Structure 1
Amino acid sequence: MKYLLFTIFLFTLVTGLHGQKKFELKSPDGKLAATVSAGSQVSYSVSYEGDILLKPSSLSMELDKGVTWGRDSKLQNAKTSSVRQEIDAHFYKRNKITDHYNELTLHFRENFSLIFRAYNEGIAYRFVSTGTRDIIVKNEEASFNFDKDYSAYVPYVKGKFKDTESQFFNSFENEYTYAPLSRMNRDKLAFTPLVVCLDKGRKICLAESDLESYPGMFLSNKTGSLSLSSSFAPYPAAAEQGGHNQLQQLVTSRQPYIAKSKAKSRFPWRIIIVSAKDKELADNDMVYKLASPTRLTDLSWIKPGKVAWEWWNHWGLSNVDFEAGVNNDTYKAYIDFASKNKIEYVILDEGWAVNLKADMFSIVPEIDLKNLVAYANSKNVGLILWAGYYAFERDMERVCRHYSEMGIKGFKIDFMDRDDQQMVDFHYRAAVTAAKYKMLVDFHGTYKPTGINRTYPNVINFEAVHGLEQMKWTGPELDQVTYDVTMPFIRMVAGPVDYTQGAMRNATKRTHRGINDEPMSQGTRCRQLAEYVIFESPLNMLCDSPTSYEKEQECTNFISAVPTVWDNTVALDGKIGQYLSIARRKADVWYVGALTNWDARKLELDLSFLDEGDYMAEVYRDGANANRIASDYKKETIAVPSNRKLTVSMAQGGGFAMKIYKK
């Protein structure tokens, strides 16, 4: 139910010098406030419990025909409202979301509006076109001005680039650099979400939502100041086929603008999430809440689940009487494994289509897809196909129709590596076309989620994460363990991650090596199990081989049973870069996961979220020798203490996983 109340007490209006008007919009609990100034320059500031978090920060949108919204714009009127409603969430970390905010809408004579929303957990604003003509957006100014030289977790674009333009083409896989704002790399772009650490343990997380027909926002600090400002990829003027196996479109020239927009366009939300405790960032719904509601009427065919995957383990079967690789015998073995363990899908990753042709109808002779689909159907397993971007894009309708009729359940689309308006439009067209043929989409090699998974719930997962694949070619010089307890507070704020955990070969900081044929993870076995609870992933990969999982059936049983979508989520405790514990519920069963960095750690879990009654728990904890032998673990069944407090110990790079059920 939705409540909409026009009020007079949500904001304070003060008329200043030269006709400048200021509005103060408060969150429902009154702790968070945005002060919006509408004069020669529109700006806003943010405070929490009276403390300034963001100093006045200007915002504007430069259009064609010499118009700039937000500069010398004439305010026509202002309206406020208060909304409290329940959102039905689909294939998410909870099934219901409370959407409670106060809203201020400023209408300007130059045919635009600015909408500000104040939630208890953050502030958001967006531009809206109210005129009747289509427009060209030359640039958008989004600025975030801080009052001190705070340190930030910065996800720089990864790689060496000669200029800003070249950075707009990247894989959106990153590590985090922790540094003061003034010492940020002036030549590097960063993408959102990005977290700034304030006084009193507070954090600001900058993000965006409802990114449709518009480029994604990068952030930078080009002057060594205390401010972050926006950058956007200009609209492509020309592109040519190339890149990875001829599967990409490489932009060769760009237009002098960032977007071509229709009349009445609603532009992306700029989000300033505010947390008093780190754990609040590990369970935040603002990106999902601010996205456009689902446009699909029938969701019954969308089936989340797990995927047996061959690429990470390099088709790593042994004790079979055929040569493992891209062939039907190999995939039938993966299908058999999936069926036996009630795993919903098997993926055919890169290699099933003829290389360098960018043609999804050109299949290698070793693969008989129709035969594989029939075999998978007989085993109650669905097949998903990997698709290079250009091979999918060039004949999208025919590809979806053909493979849907064959019985394929969806696509893992890879190597987009851009988020300019043209590429964002592709993501929406792919979602719409796939939904037309009742097919799932996992966007790999793409930008972070910005809410399309709410608008088109058949978009079931996203990469844009520095996932376990990195362990195939890097050694101990890469600290994946610390990344694992940093990313959930930052990148995962945006939405699901196709991180692809589940390694059964586990290594310590000293023993990890990058080995393509027999890859391993950093950290303990229990860390891998816990990541199925900690990481949000409605379509969740099992990265290791059937051979490895069959040798470790106890762990496989846990992994195969963990849900991939949830009825509720509770962030228990956490500090960015150090540790995290989360509880998630499906029906009447709770799962708890915990991770630590390279520090061995004792952690008290508060299980007060449990209803009354007696509970048992199936526990997977690091073994006594896990600091030396990372695969060492112990499973046990315990009674949940009546005081609902449980102390757990984790090894270096360790983890803890638990399934709780009523006695």
Structure 2
Amino acid sequence: MAPVAATAAQGPAVLASPDGSAAIRIARDASQFSIVRRGETIIAASPLGLELDGAPGFGPLVLERREDVKVNRVIPLVATKASSTRDRYNGTTLVFREQAPAGRRLLLDVRAYDDGIAFRYRIDDAAPVRLRGERTAFVPAADPECLVSVAIGSHEKPFERSKVSALRDGVAYDVPVVCTTASGRSSYAITQANLAGYTGASLWREGSALQVRLSATPERPAPAYVSPAGLTTAWRVVMMGDRAGDMIASHLIGNLNPQPTQDFRWVQPGKAAWDWWSGPVSGLKPDMDSYRRFIDFAAASGLRYYLIDAGWAWGSGPDCWIALPGTDITRAADGIDMPELVRYAAAKGVDLLLWAHWEHIAPRMDEVLDTYARWGIKGVKVDFMNRDDQDMVAFYYRIAAATAERKLLLDLHSAYVPAGLQRTYPNFITQEGVLGAEWNKLDSSVTPQHNLMLPYTRMLTGPMDYTPGGFRNGTTASFKVRDVLPLTQTTRGQALAMYVVYDSPLQMVSDAPEAYRDAAGFDFVRRVPAAWDETRFLSGEPGRDIVLARRQGRSWYVGAMRAEEPAGATERVPLRFLAPGRYRATVWEDGATPNELRRVEREVGPADVLELRLAPGGGAAVILEPL
């Protein structure tokens, strides 16, 4: 990290990325900013500022000085989509001072990466700061078409295409909002990063702008945010690439978060047997034999984990989404010997994870986690937070630290969209905040088109616990909602491809053990990794198709998925990403019916092109192993 002395000059403050392709311009009075990429305006002149509560707002500001820095470093990563990343940016801190005598100072930290721009506000003061909100807004240039999702507490809504001008008034939209410029030369995603000590936010259309609106706590509608001393906001982020898929491999969100201060080499990615998806919504009735059945399946299949979902704890009822006051999650239900289950699983090489409602953890977190650690549990899935306000953000950081201290994995459900906390605490291995496969049990919203939106939108921000693995496959026409042993609207080929395309270092194998017995394609599920050394987007368009390649060691895994458009049933996959040499390509592609696969092997090299047959709502998976 090399600091560069700089002074304020006339005109706007400009910061360009290391390769010069992206730049942000900030007015000398801190009133607005704009962003360009390769000569094209991405974000037109957009407002900046804070709305203070209980104190006068900032008066006219002037740029007093700037402090520049250049950073170029390689960061090793734990259990994610690559084994390392390059953190390379040009940064500056712009110090603005009120023009009044003894004026206050507002600091703006800015970073320009080759794949995005980020900024945040700071007030270096010992006094408390109260905010009604931010004045920050984003004005996408030329009214582009964007992919948007309505913001709700669980962050489980489908993405839709819309011009900014057509977004509904009075409706909160979630991050990320992913847009393509009118020229088609750039795609970008508006989102946030590093919420530590701050609060979440949503985007609201106000004219041509997407206004940032902070999330307030239920107990305190205003001010939206209160700090004990000073202020550091979340980063406001614009990720950028030539294509929407080019942002999939980006580590920008993680790079905007602090690096770990502990040794997390103990974090083990892997796949997990799971009892909830194939059973009733209320969860399995607690039963030692049922739990042993899933442990035996995990062991026989080479799965590292088994997740025991709702219903295992003493006093828990059939409505798992309600935190019943009589539930004690430090005690197992009658007839359940949790330490004995741990011993049984360990003898077979399987580790156990436990589900819990967050309201049962929050008031007695140390006691609960100490109990699980003493039992030998390896991780927790915490559910139903459904908020992203300041208090809930604090809970995320508190439980991430507390589980890390005890070497427990953490999986958060009904969670807000990732903002990079996984970088600081790699034991926070995955999370929901996505409309995933569980909704096959509830309605028909998990369509092939929806599945093909997710890699280009929600997945840009971090891992997503979509929970793939449904092996009762079908089409949108044959689909019926079933609570127990649910169906999917996609083929077996797409079920396999999800294990490559969808990023989750803890990946569920969601169906009942019986669904996988002698099932076509389960050999691929057993072999596919859950974390990677490298990720490459090859081709595709949001809502239509995708081909993604991921490497572990010297082997590559390719996942291809498509929606229901009749055209393009064959995906051509050039293999020029391979290192020189010859490879054995094992291909699983769609067969004659949704539950059938065609499995073929051939020898290939970097000059070859694979042709994959994909049915409507279908997919294919490939393993490329060096010979």
Contact 2:197 2:393 in 1 (8 A): yes
Contact 1:597 1:654 in 2 (8 A): yes
Which residue in 2 is equivalent to 1:463?
432
Contact 1:441 1:460 in 2 (8 A): yes
User: What amino acid does structure 2 have at the position aligned with 1:654?
Assistant: G
Aligned residue for 2:334, secondary structure, equals coil
CA distance in 2, matches of 1:74, 1:14: 11
CA distance in 1, matches of 2:144, 2:264: 44
Mapped pair 1:203 → 2:187: yes
Mapped pair 1:445 → 2:414: yes
Contact 2:151 2:172 in 1 (8 A): yes
Per-residue deviation at 1:551?
3.2
TM-score computed with the length of structure 2 as normaliser = 0.93
Instruction: List aligned pairs for 1:49-448, cutoff 5 A.
Output: 49-68=38-57, 72-109=60-97, 110-158=104-152, 170-201=153-184, 202-221=186-205, 223=206, 225-234=207-216, 236=217, 251=218, 253-263=219-229, 265-295=231-261, 297-314=262-279, 325-353=285-313, 354-355=315-316, 356=324, 357-448=326-417
CA distance in 2, matches of 1:370, 1:642: 51
CA distance in 2, matches of 1:140, 1:658: 47
CA distance in 2, matches of 1:67, 1:646: 64
Per-residue deviation at 1:157?
2.5
User: What amino acid does structure 2 have at the position aligned with 1:615?
Assistant: Y
Tell which deviates more after alignment, 324-333 or 558-567. 324-333
Contact 1:129 1:263 in 2 (8 A): no
User: What amino acid does structure 2 have at the position aligned with 1:197?
Assistant: T
User: What amino acid does structure 2 have at the position aligned with 1:192?
Assistant: V
Per-residue deviation at 1:56?
1.0
Per-residue deviation at 1:265?
4.2
> Identity rate of aligned residues, in percent?
31
Instruction: List aligned pairs for 1:422-571, cutoff 5 A.
Output: 422-475=391-444, 478=445, 480-552=447-519, 554-571=520-537
Mapped pair 1:46 → 2:35: yes
CA displacement 1:145-180 (0-9 Å, x = unmatched): 13322222111035xxxxxxxxxxx21111012112
Q: How many residues align?
A: 607
Per-residue deviation at 1:377?
1.3
Contact 2:142 2:182 in 1 (8 A): no
Contact 1:152 1:195 in 2 (8 A): yes
CA distance in 2, matches of 1:631, 1:93: 29
Mapped pair 1:607 → 2:560: no
Aligned residue for 2:279, secondary structure, equals coil
CA displacement 1:437-473 (0-9 Å, x = unmatched): 1111100111011111111111111100000011112
CA distance in 2, matches of 1:129, 1:114: 9
CA distance in 2, matches of 1:326, 1:551: 28
Which residue in 2 is equivalent to 1:662?
626
Per-residue deviation at 1:413?
0.1
CA distance in 2, matches of 1:282, 1:437: 32
CA displacement 1:292-344 (0-9 Å, x = unmatched): 1113x22132222111001000079xxxxxxx843110110110111111111
Per-residue deviation at 1:416?
0.3
Structure 2 residues without counterparts, runs of 5 or longer: 98-103, 317-323
Which residue in 2 is equivalent to 1:644?
608
Structure 1 residues without counterparts, runs of 5 or longer: 16-20, 159-169, 237-250, 317-323
CA distance in 2, matches of 1:646, 1:622: 14
Aligned residue for 2:199, secondary structure, equals coil
CA displacement 1:630-658 (0-9 Å, x = unmatched): 11211111111451322222110010100
User: What amino acid does structure 2 have at the position aligned with 1:511?
Assistant: S
Q: 2:599 aligns with which of 632, 635, 653?
A: 635
Tell which deviates more after alignment, 139-148 or 653-662. 139-148
Contact 2:28 2:63 in 1 (8 A): yes
Contact 2:119 2:236 in 1 (8 A): yes
CA distance in 2, matches of 1:642, 1:402: 52
Per-residue deviation at 1:264?
5.2
CA distance in 1, matches of 2:473, 2:409: 31
Q: 2:22 aligns with which of 18, 28, 32?
A: 32
User: What amino acid does structure 2 have at the position aligned with 1:307?
Assistant: A
Per-residue deviation at 1:263?
3.4
Which residue in 2 is equivalent to 1:240?
none
Contact 1:212 1:428 in 2 (8 A): yes
Which residue in 2 is equivalent to 1:4?
2
CA distance in 1, matches of 2:480, 2:78: 39
CA distance in 2, matches of 1:583, 1:142: 37
Aligned residue for 1:199, secondary structure, equals coil
Per-residue deviation at 1:362?
4.2
Q: 1:411 to 1:312 in 2, by over 3 A?
A: same
User: What amino acid does structure 1 have at the position aligned with 2:588?
Assistant: Y
Aligned residue for 1:339, secondary structure, equals helix
TM-score computed with the length of structure 1 as normaliser = 0.88
Per-residue deviation at 1:65?
4.4
Contact 2:415 2:432 in 1 (8 A): yes
CA distance in 2, matches of 1:23, 1:390: 46
Aligned residue for 2:395, secondary structure, equals helix
CA distance in 2, matches of 1:595, 1:419: 32
Aligned residue for 1:112, secondary structure, equals strand
User: What amino acid does structure 2 have at the position aligned with 1:608?
Assistant: R
Q: 1:622 aligns with which of 565, 571, 590?
A: 590
CA distance in 1, matches of 2:132, 2:547: 44
CA displacement 1:241-284 (0-9 Å, x = unmatched): xxxxxxxxxx3x42421222243543211001122222212222
Per-residue deviation at 1:614?
0.7
CA displacement 1:413-436 (0-9 Å, x = unmatched): 000000000000001111111112
CA distance in 2, matches of 1:607, 1:255: 54
Aligned residue for 1:383, secondary structure, equals strand
CA distance in 1, matches of 2:613, 2:388: 42
Aligned residue for 1:340, secondary structure, equals helix
Aligned residue for 1:279, secondary structure, equals helix
CA distance in 2, matches of 1:14, 1:77: 9
User: What amino acid does structure 2 have at the position aligned with 1:215?
Assistant: T
Contact 1:112 1:131 in 2 (8 A): no
Aligned residue for 1:507, secondary structure, equals coil
CA displacement 1:78-119 (0-9 Å, x = unmatched): 122222111111111011111111112101332431011111
CA distance in 1, matches of 2:96, 2:17: 24
Contact 2:580 2:605 in 1 (8 A): no
Which residue in 1 is equivalent to 2:320?
none
Aligned residue for 2:511, secondary structure, equals coil
CA distance in 2, matches of 1:303, 1:264: 38
Contact 1:315 1:325 in 2 (8 A): no
Aligned residue for 2:497, secondary structure, equals helix
